[in-house]
Structure 1
Amino acid sequence: MGTKSAFNRITLWASFLFVVILGFSRLSYGMFLPGIQRVIGGSYGQLGILGTVNFIGYLVGTLCLPPLISRFPDRKHVINRITCLLLGLTLIGSAFSDHFTGLGLWRFAIGLLSAFATVLVLSIAMDAVRPAERGAASGLIWLGGSAGILVTGLFAPFTIDPSHLQGWRYAWVIMGIFGVIAAFGFEFVTRKREAEKMPSQTESKSRDKENENVYRLLLNPKKLLFLIASYFFFGWGYIIYFTYLIPYLVSKGIPSLYAGLIWSGIGFAGLFNGWIGGKAIDRWPSGYTLASGLTLGTIGVCGVITNSMLFTVLGAAMIGLVSFITPPLMTTALLRRHVPHHAYAACLSIATAFFAAGQIIGPIVGGVAVERYGLQFGVASSAIFMAIAAAFAGLYGQQQRKLEIRDLPDSG
């Protein structure tokens, strides 16, 4: 069964799914926050808790997936198709929320399902791509998330403008319908390949043995610990920025159309980031490549501190261009290079759990900062954690030379 180039029908439909998995299901919440507040009520700190609930669901999903895959090693495609379909349907369901508690339950379910979908879609799609092009393929898939942000921003006049109180509901219904279509499309293009693949008993047994060593591999300071730590602090930092940026812009009196265009600008810049970042990690598969993007992203966040809307916008564009999609896609590609084939899904799931843990802490810390010191300080605080993520990525780059010498031949 041959592998494909980075750009193929499977990675294309995987990218469409990531429009939903990342851009619509997770990050649209920050964009719709002002509109949701007008209808449901609550302070930004309280509504930020629902962002935390979403990522608690995401964490639960990432922790549940490895044992689920171990229990049903030959059912990865079945679990994925059910998950992706349900994700679209839960987006539609969340649009009908009238109360804080109800919306929280929907956000939890969406987090759970998007965690499953993130790992499974990436794992299935990457299996179909030639090893030398997996960074580029990862970039193509993750740029779907940027496209989702771009589209979400275009909804702004209908979702955060006070004259369209129910606009966020209609937007989530449309997003959910797109998710259902994308789930069917991905199922169609992967069904033939799934039929060709006949897993052997030997594969299943070796997978169980490799899964036992996953934590030892990921949490070893001489191997992947610094990469995982970088991913954790990136999750902590970026989610503060994406949760409170739009409320900050609205509080400054920026018209909803312009706030939406700034949000879309992040997504548009991320389209280039997905492709460039994927190519870069294929050519320079190093923690230093990751650290450079995170450092520039830290500088971008600091644009908020200047009290200049121009620098805030330029900073947002920089984040979209070099550090929004870069860390997840580069972590995805680096893990694919340095872990055994059958342990990849479990390793990616656990790495994503650390990412999710950072995203759980982020909205809580950001919410406290917003309540005590205002929206500007809350948004700017994300720079602290982005900088820590960059430092750990640099440490991983330093450690990586030893890693490549000792372990690259063993991982194939």
Structure 2
Amino acid sequence: MTEPRTSRAVWTALGLAAGPVSAFAFARFAYAVLLPPMQADLDWSYATAALLNTTNAAGYLVGAILAARVGRVLGVRRAFLTSMLVTAAALGASALTTLLPVLLVLRLAAGVSGAVTFILGAALTAALASQLVAGPRTAHRSALLMGIYVSGGGMGVVVTGLLLPAALAWFPPESGWRIGWAALGIAGVAAWLIAVPAARRTPVPPPRGAGSRAPVRTLLPLLAGYTLFGAGYIAYMTFIVALLRGRGAGDGEVAVFWIVLGLAAMVGGFAWSPVIGALSGGRAPALLMVVVALGAGLPLLADHPALALGSAVLFGGTFLALVGAVTHAAQRVLDPSQVTDGIGTLTTGFAVGQSIGPVLSGVASDSADGVQAGLALSVLILLVGAAVFLGQRPQMAHAGS
């Protein structure tokens, strides 16, 4: 493998990373920043606030089920790019209404399109990695490309950390959250513009032949652990800003927290790639899950800014890398023609967890202990998931893994 070829692959993966910017940071995580002013302006309970994320997660579940089929019908590249535009439209339209049913529909649409974006973008990244010349460091290079791809979520968190708190500070509460949604819609279009040339340079994943559907039994520990990850991490991403606000954090502190979390997520995709490439089976996802749980639990120890920032570094630096670790582990187990369906299957479990997680954490947060109870529940779920991941065997299904 020549160095220029590796360099081109890295730059292409960076362009594809605009997909998780849209699917993760804009369509899902940004809601945590906009939730407190929306909750105050629209007089929502925590359960109602969680319902919007549950609806988004349900849409993500539908998108995960349909993604491979949509890719076969429209073509993987076209479906990837079209879903990014749908996400941008759903986000921008959220600025135009206060009606809960309409907001639920828009969150549902953003969830569906976000899942299609992520799965097909990951399939394109895996196809890009398969073009690298096989060698002793192939697994490390493949993990690096997938790490770059998922790090787009961290890039997007940084963008939202710069955009949204500023919008909330400059405008009255009743209009600030609307400006925030409008800004997200515009930023979603910008992400699409970045992704277009990268998608056009990426090889199309090989088509799935008859009888070559990804074997669920082979992926069962990954699937179960990833489902628990979906249930556990979403409580943190939904309610951490509400916890900080409840403890008196102002716009500046929230912006710093969110930007640190995003920067850590960007760095984490690169920093964890050697570990992910070196550990086979479910060991890498298990290790990263423990770190995610530690990061989620830090704010529960005491009300101190250092613990909040430490949480942002640990959680932010690991949770998206864990997505890459699970995807990479599946890629090493499956035949290239099965990767799109395999990622779709895993993402379906992840989406089921996300659908359940906000309900559990929202109900727990409405209890006497408040948001802390929901976050404590998420830590427990994450630790159980870490143990489940260890059951994944390091089976190698194709050469060059």
**Structure 2 length-normalised TM:** 0.89
Distance 2:196 2:111 in 1: 21
Match of 1:376 in 2: 372
**From 164, 181, 184, the counterpart of 1:175:** 184
Gaps of 5+ in 1: none
The share of aligned pairs that are identical, in percent, is 24
Task: Quote the residue 1:145 is aligned against.
Answer: 153
Partner of 1:80: 80
Shift of 1:115: 0.6
CA drift of 1:320 comes to: 1.3
Q: CA deviation at 1:324?
A: 1.2
Q: Which amino acid in the other structure matches residue 224 of structure 2?
A: A
2:174 & 2:168 partners in 1: Cα distance? 7
| 2:313 paired residue number | 317
Aligned residue number for residue 105 of structure 1? 105
Structure 1 pair 279/96, CA: closer, same or farther in 2 (3 Å)?
Answer: farther
**371-380 or 234-243: which moved more?**
371-380
How far off is 1:301 after superposition?
2.0
CA contact (8 A) 2:88 2:189 kept: yes
The corresponding residue for 2:43 is 41
Aligned to 1:266: 261
Q: CA deviation at 1:118?
A: 0.4
* Aligned mates of 2:51, 2:199 — CA distance in 1: 37
Q: Give the root-mean-square deviation of aligned CA atoms.
A: 2.4
* SS of residue in 1 equivalent to 2:366: helix
CA distance in structure 2 between the aligned counterparts of 1:346 and 1:82, rounded to whole angstroms: 19
Asked if 2 retains the 8 angstrom alpha-carbon contact of 1:239 and 1:359, the reply is yes
Match of 2:337 among 335, 342, 346: 342
SS at match of 2:151: helix
2:386 matched residue in structure 1 = 390
TM-score normalised by length of structure 1: 0.87
| Cα distance in 2 for residues equivalent to 1:141 and 1:359 | 21
1:184 to 170, 193, 211: 193
Distance of 2:338 and 2:64 partners within structure 1: 14
Corresponding letter in the other structure for 2:184 = M
- Alpha-carbon distance, 1:96 to partner: 1.4
The CA deviation at 1:270 is 1.3
Q: Which moved more, 1:264-273 or 1:153-162?
A: 153-162
| Structure 1 pair 193–251 and aligned structure 2 pair: CA distance change class (3 A) | closer
Q: Tell me, yes or no, if the aligned pair for 1:231 and 1:331 is still in contact at 8 Å.
A: yes
Equivalent residue for 1:284, pick from 279, 300, 307: 279
What is the one-letter code of the residue matched to 2:148?
Answer: L
After superposition, the C-alpha distances for 1:339-362 in whole angstroms (9 at most, x for unaligned) are 111111111011101000000000
Verify the 8 A CA contact 2:297 2:379 in the aligned structure 1. Answer: yes
Equivalent position of 1:5 in the other structure: 6
Task: Tell whether the 8 Å contact from 2:27 to 2:114 is kept in structure 1 after alignment.
Answer: yes
* Cα gap change, 1:229 to 1:192, in 2 (>3 Å): closer
Q: Is the 8 A contact 2:13 2:198 kept in 1?
A: no
Q: Would the alpha carbon gap of residues 17 and 408 (structure 1) be closer, same or farther in structure 2, given more than 3 Å must change?
A: closer
Q: Which amino acid aligns with 1:315?
A: S
1:62 and 2:64 matched: yes
Give the superposition deviation at 1:408. 5.1
Q: Is this contact kept in 1: 2:124–2:202, CA < 8 A?
A: no
Q: What CA distance in whole angstroms lies between the structure 1 residues aligned with 2:78 and 2:345?
A: 21
Aligned counterpart for 1:352 among listed residues 338, 347, 368: 347
| SS in structure 2 at match of 1:208 | coil
SS in 2 for 1:395: coil
Query: In structure 2, what is the equivalent of residue 20 of structure 1?
Result: 22
In structure 2, C-alpha distance between the alignment counterparts of 1:378 and 1:338, rounded to whole Å = 35
Task: Give 1:391 shift.
Answer: 0.7
Q: CA deviation at 1:82?
A: 1.7
Q: Deviations over 1:168-208 (max 9, x none)?
A: 222222222222232233223333556xx6x9xxx65x523
Q: Deviations over 1:288-346 (max 9, x none)?
A: 2221221122122222222232323322321112x311221011111111111111111
SS of 2:284's equivalent in the other structure is helix
- Aligned equivalents of 2:76, 2:295: Cα separation in 1: 39
Contact 2:16/2:198 (CA < 8 Å) preserved in 1?
Answer: no
Corresponding residue number in structure 1 for 2:55: 53
Change in Cα spacing, 1:16 to 1:65, as seen in structure 2 (3 Å) is: closer
- Say if 1:376 and 1:15 are closer, same or farther in 2 by CA, change over 3 A: same
2: CA distance, partners of 1:226 / 1:8: 30
Aligned length: 387
Q: CA deviation at 1:4?
A: 4.3
Structure 1 position 165 matched with structure 2 position 147: no
CA distance in 1, matches of 2:380, 2:374: 11
Contact 2:221/2:388 (8 A) holds in 1 = yes
For residues 277 and 366 of structure 1, the distance between their equivalents in structure 2, rounded to whole angstroms, comes to: 29
